Structures are given as structure tokens and as C-alpha cells.
Amino acid sequence: MAFNPDQFKPKKKRIVDPNAPPRPNLLSQDKKLRETTEAFGKLHNLVSTQANEIARLKNDYKNLQASVEKILTYLSKGQSNK
């Protein structure tokens, strides 16, 4: 096997465009994917909490409406008896 001096020459560096966006790598993509998944999980929890709160408020509203109807019925019966 003969000695080849070309094997030890430094490689030429590629010309890099300074305006080009950075090259993606798998670690940064994995991190972004993980962050996005976490964000969606938090949003899902928030939406489900808000849906439960809306359901509770609707129930409270129905109960208040029923109470007001009972009061109005009572008052209208009291008015008609006079």
C-alpha cells in the first residue's frame, strides 16, 4: 500500500450564504416537536376546563331562570287574588 499525501489535505470549506436560514438538525426538530406537543396538551387541558366551567355556568343560569319564573308566578298569583 502506497502512501498517498492527498489523503491528509484539509478539506475545502463550503461557501455559506450569510442570509440563509440555519440548517435544521434532528435535535432541534425533536425539541420543537416536543414543545409543540406540550403546548397542545396545555391548550387541551385549558379548553376542557373552560368547557366544564361553561357547562356549570349554563346550569346555574337555568336554575336562576327557574327561580325567577317561580317568583314571577307567585307574584302574579298574589296580584290576581287582590
**What Å distances lie between residue 62 and 6, 9, 28, 80, CA to CA?**
86, 83, 51, 27
Q: What is d(CA 12, CA 71) in angstroms, rounded to the nearest whole number?
A: 89
- pTM (predicted TM-score): 0.55
pLDDT of residue 13: 83
Give the H or E element holding residue 56: helix 26-81
pLDDT of residue 26: 80
Tens-of-pLDDT digits for all 82 residues of the chain? Answer: 567 777 777 778 888 888 988 777 788 888 889 999 999 999 999 999 999 999 999 999 999 999 999 999 999 987 776 5
